[in-house]
Amino acid sequence: MVTKYIPKNPDQPRKYTKRNAAGVKSELLALARDGHKRPHHNSYLGNRLEAYISVNRNYDEQFASQIKFIAPHWFPEFRTKKNKLLLLNMARSGQPIPEKNTTLRKQLNYYMLKGHSHDPVFAAEIRKYWN
């Protein structure tokens, strides 16, 4: 059973202490198990999630691997793999390139163009079908 923290003043953010770290982690795991969206990074839970999975902050390796296993859809690498596979399947099946200004087309551009998301292996593969 997860007990939720109810602040006396909802507008006042919660302070992080070592005592409530276990409660926050169990609340995050419960959200992940129930299929909820990832907490926004500006929220208290989102901030704590970032802290526990970021190596440069309050990294907790066991929690990070557990949450990534339970809710892979909360992490960009999952969405990246899913998008690349979808784009490759579309290209291989002869479908046209996604329409401009769609999310999928923007992702395709990120993977194809030089930049931090560029994937040369993916780009070479997809160019065989879409040139």
Domain residue spans of the chain:
18-71, 76-127
Q: Is the pLDDT of residue 45 over 80?
A: yes
- Residue with more model confidence, 1 or 43: 43
Averaged pLDDT, 38-53:
88
pLDDT for the residue 87 = 93
E strand spans, 1-131: none
Residues near 57 by beta carbon (within 8 Å), at least 6 away in sequence: 50, 51
Give the Cα-Cα-Cα angle 102, 79, 57 (nearest 5 degrees).
125
> What are the pLDDT digits (tens) for 100-118?
999 889 989 888 888 877 8
pLDDT for the residue 93 = 94
Q: Are 32 and 26 in contact (CB under 8 A)?
A: no
pLDDT for the residue 11 = 57
